[in-house]
Chain A
Amino acid sequence: MSAAPDWGHAAPIERLDGEVAIVGVGEGDHSKASGRTHQEIAAQAIARALDDAGLEPADVDGLLYSGGMGTEFGAKEFHAHFGTSHEIAAAPRGGGMVWAGTAPVAAVEWLRSGRARHVVNVFAVSWATQRGEMVGGPGHFHAHERMKRHLEVPWGWFPQPVYFATIARRHMHVYGTRPEQLGAIAVACRRHANLHPGAVMRDRPLSLEEYLARPMLFDPLRMEDCCLISDGGGAYVMSSLERARDLRAPLVVVEGVGDGRSHADVYWALQGDFTATPQVFSAPAAFEMAGIRPKDVDVLALYDPFTIVALMQIEDMGFCAKGEGGAFVEGSTLHFDGGRLPYNTHGGLLSHAYVLGISHVVELVRQLRGEAAAQVPDAEIAVYGGYTGAMASTLVLRRE
């Protein structure tokens, strides 16, 4: 292998020695605008995850949540919703995006020290209900970041669909990637969502022909290349392997975690490798910790705000060579039933719900237990890839 590129690095991370298990998963109801608050949705997801684990709210003594984007659900909110008052270790080191992948590292400190026995990671949004151009939602941060406001937004380079259309065109120019290859990703996600009872797009089929006939509103991207805006959320419960053996769920063990960083911070325009993600740094670290190679992965879930983000991560994680992602994903490669790399088997951010990756991890746990709607036969190793632009994370899970 060639030397690691110099535009980012793998952040040092606590080595997990197969000592954390995911013992319960749950989701809030996913929908378009529902009128619910993110706190209500988060509480619903936690209640379902605890029910899945066979635990009570009073058993939760660790809570990881998102520290930003107006999506906080800390100990105060937990007690308010569950009527509890016990001691809970809580920290804004969890949630969705990359943190849906790194939360086990935050949890292990508490599990090792005995400060917590059962740690919940939760994330929920009500962005469909809040939908507005600048108030909350995915564009909010970028509109208010001062350099972007002065050096990007005035020329119309805003918000995310524009960033990722620009990346997609460069990827097409450098590597020859074609629209029907991005379309193959969107079609695979939609097909999986059509099988998933909780997916927002469960009743809306999408063929490749239909995809190609849709207008390129953010040329070269179509609406079908872009994620939904949703109300929804999810939660998962982590315990030590020892305690997990006494609980009712089949064992799903955290085998590896990676955390990759780009030195370009939050500015896509300045990424050292414009058509790559920090999975370049994150995935090898996680795979090494887990002792696996890309070909060992039975089911993959990637943070997929846009088709091109999935394509880049597939390349950067080593499932194919850089630049060959387009050819790799064509046809049925990503489909759950016989594809070479079953991918986003719940439909992902494109077709399941835009709940920023938390449901990706929930889906992988269900796959490893054999409980998924679009079940991959005998899935043993599952991988989640998280992404924010400046960061990527990788989570390797194994069925015991």
Chain B
Amino acid sequence: MTLPFPLPDPDFEPTRPFFAAAARGELRIPRCRRCDRLQWYPPERCRACGSPELEWVRTSGRGTLFSFCVVRRPLLREFAPLVPFATGLVALEEDPTVRLVTRFVDCELEALHPDLPVRAVFRPLGHPRIAAWTRVVPFFTLA
């Protein structure tokens, strides 16, 4: 099945556990069973020690706002109903080298600054121009 751009395919194997966990309100990230390092984006083998033994572990969902862009003119028409919106990166509390792409929600754009604490919230992805797709994914808000 091909989903309309820019929706993710929840059955795409490398990220399937991420979306399945999000549906339960959990932020899960792959971790190497041998060396305990978190891995992002999901690799086939541990980037540090090469082990294929990876498990998706639940994280705190906390981190810091690493950086962001406020989009006032989207280059994709699917995002036009959302502007202005803030999209950027979160450095995860458990390992700040793990940076998650997100959109920042439930806060004033003017209140956003790099290095502020943030936490995950779980909402339907919902692209206003793409009807009937309400799968829950993680977003972030100021903690």
Residues of A near any B CB (own CB < 8 A) = 133-134, 139, 143, 146-147, 149-159, 161-162, 165-167, 169-170, 173, 215-221, 267, 269-270, 272, 274
- Starting from the known contacts A150-B15, A155-B87, A156-B82, 8 additional A-B residue pairs (CB-CB under 8 Å) come to A143-B6, A147-B14, A150-B12, A153-B8, A154-B7, A162-B75, A169-B68, A169-B88
B45 within 8 Å of A by Cβ?
Answer: no
* Residues B87 and A156 in contact, CB atoms below 8 Å apart: yes
* Residues B71 and A156 in contact, CB atoms below 8 Å apart: yes
Cβ contacts under 8 Å, A139 to chain B = 75
Binary per-residue interface labels of chain B (4-17) against chain A in the complex, 1 for a CB within 8 Å, 0 otherwise:
01111100101100
Residues of B near any A CB (own CB < 8 A) = 5-9, 12, 14-15, 18, 40-41, 66-77, 79, 82, 84-85, 87-89, 97, 99-103, 113-115, 125, 137, 139
Cβ contacts under 8 Å, B113 to chain A = 173
What is the minimal beta-carbon distance from B13 to any residue of chain A, in angstroms? 10
* Residues B69 and A143 in contact, CB atoms below 8 Å apart: no
Taking a contact as CB atoms closer than 8 A, the residue among B18, B76, B77 that contacts A158 in the complex is B76
What is the minimal beta-carbon distance from B58 to any residue of chain A, in angstroms? 18
What is the minimal beta-carbon distance from A139 to any residue of chain B, in angstroms? 7
* Residues B9 and A150 in contact, CB atoms below 8 Å apart: yes
* Residues B72 and A218 in contact, CB atoms below 8 Å apart: yes
The answer for the CA separation of A149 and B15 in the assembled complex, in Å, is 11
What is the minimal beta-carbon distance from B121 to any residue of chain A, in angstroms? 13
* Residues A149 and B72 in contact, CB atoms below 8 Å apart: no
Taking a contact as CB atoms closer than 8 A, the residue among B6, B89, B99 that contacts A149 in the complex is B6
* Residues B103 and A155 in contact, CB atoms below 8 Å apart: yes
Cβ contacts under 8 Å, B125 to chain A = 154
* Residues B8 and A133 in contact, CB atoms below 8 Å apart: no
Cβ contacts under 8 Å, A270 to chain B = 40-41, 99
Q: List 14 A-B contacts (CB under 8 A).
A: A146-B14, A150-B8, A150-B15, A151-B15, A151-B100, A152-B101, A154-B8, A154-B125, A156-B71, A156-B76, A157-B69, A170-B66, A218-B73, A274-B66
